[in-house]
Amino acid sequence: MKKREHLVRAIAPPGSVCVICKGTKYLCGKPSCPLLLKYYKLIKTVSIVDERIYGSSPPGVFVGSKNYPKIFAGPLIPPFLGDTAILDFPEKWINFNIEKIVDFRTKLIRGMRVVDVSSASIPDKYVEDLQVLAMSRSAVDSDVLFAHRPTGKIVLSSDVQPFGPSGKIEKFRFYESKVDSRIEKFYYDDLKAEYAVVSLYTKGVEVTKIQRCFSVGIFGEEKRRKLVPTRWAITAVDDIISGYLVSKIKRYSIIDNYEVYVSDRMENIFAVIFIPDAWSYELVESWHSGTLWNPTENTYIISDHELYWGRKTYAQIGGCYYAARLAVAEKLESLKRQASVVVLREAKPSYILPIGVWHVRENVRAALKSKPRKFDDFGEVLEYLRKIFTVSPEKFLENSYILKFHAKQGRIEKWLNT
């Protein structure tokens, strides 16, 4: 009988409150313990895994960033066969709660092997298999032999999303796989990656699939192809697609009224404000005391914006900025209209752990599918926001470049008309 100890371990920074609390005193101020949620979901998977597993990859791949350019890359495979697409398909997750999403994440075992990012240009058998897996249309039955039994790791950090157990791969093979011909075309073409990304998006390929293929170096000029860490690939694709859509939006006429769209899912409230003006965009996030990124006693608000000609620096908010911009640009393109847009986000105290940038994109998409409230006056917008958030409109106004500008413009116009 093999020993089962040390199957899951936790890594915490020095002085972490989690080390003192151990899930018993809720010293972090959260209503439930993110450590224990991760642990119980992870141990369920780890306890049934051995050195060799047979499972159906959703399909899924993971490319790490540690020790770049010599990084870990490998397949994501659950320890069971069947239709597992839902386990790595964020576009289908919007109506699930956080616990269910953690369950999806922790069911996927990460196979790891060190590869050089440049190996995507002349792939060996292992990298080539990952590329074929990423292009697959549906779940792929796979057989993996690990050097040792995969183990779980819980990182006690505010910016690391849940993930399943991992192990170094000795052998990996998969059985019959049907690749998506739309994607395969660009695997054999010697074209820039940006062109492939936009072309596939306009053909209806889901953003998650494009991001997965971008990560394993399927796109681009053949001699310049590289593997891209999953986290970087997600933001790069969001940025490329939204940039393409924004270039089209700028040709359209400006909307007639203020419009506000709202979503309240996954312990986050989003309000998307369309302002009748030329294209500009801003994301404003508020975090209550005790939530993930805010250990202080006061509500913390952070924002990033771009005006008509865009921005040249990376947004300090990170990937969420580009994920929300993609959803906003999609909506305006579908309306064939132009607007100045502000996305307001309130992370509730019940938002106990990060689940990935994807949820911002999908939350904003969900908001923009709802029926908007329309207003003629900016002051009416602020009063409506008071009904939606626990954070006051004045707090958002104080920390928003675009809202502050339009509030000032409104006052000037009223003064001129008196």
- The mean pLDDT of 134-157, rounded to a whole number, is 86
What's the confidence (pLDDT) of residue 5?
45
Instruction: Report the percent of the chain where pLDDT is more than 90.
Output: 71
Among 177-186, 328-337, 347-356, name the one with the lowest average pLDDT: 347-356
Cβ atoms < 10 Å from Cβ of 125: 9
| pLDDT of 239 higher than 50 | yes
| pLDDT of 323 higher than 90 | yes
The pLDDT tens digits for 268-301 are 999 999 999 999 999 999 987 665 556 666 788 9
Q: Which residue has the higher pLDDT, 269 or 160?
A: 269
Q: Which residue has the higher pLDDT, 100 or 31?
A: 100
The pLDDT tens digits for 359-404 are 999 999 999 999 999 999 999 999 999 999 999 999 999 999 999 9
Name residues whose C-beta falls within 8 Å of residue 329's C-beta, 6 or more positions apart in sequence: 241, 242, 245, 246, 249
The pLDDT tens digits for 50-95 are 899 999 999 999 999 999 999 999 999 999 999 999 999 999 999 9
Tokens linked to 296: 């202080």
Q: Which residues pair with 141 in a beta bridge?
A: 56
Which amino acid does the sequence have at 47? Answer: S
Nearest Cα residue to 138 out of 174, 178, 173: 178
| pLDDT of 20 higher than 50 | no
What's the confidence (pLDDT) of residue 4?
44
What's the confidence (pLDDT) of residue 415?
42
- The mean pLDDT of 174-200, rounded to a whole number, is 94
What's the confidence (pLDDT) of residue 94?
93
Band of the pLDDT at 192, cuts 50, 70, 90?
A: very high
- The mean pLDDT of 12-29, rounded to a whole number, is 49
Average pLDDT score over the chain: 87
| pLDDT of 198 higher than 70 | yes
Band of the pLDDT at 18, cuts 50, 70, 90?
A: low
415, burial (CB in 10 Å: exposed 0-12, middle 13-18, buried 19+): exposed
Name residues whose C-beta falls within 8 Å of residue 306's C-beta, 6 or more positions apart in sequence: 280, 281, 282
The pLDDT tens digits for 22-43 are 444 444 555 566 666 666 566 7
Q: Do the beta carbons of residue 146 and residue 168 sit within 8 Å?
A: yes
What's the confidence (pLDDT) of residue 155?
59
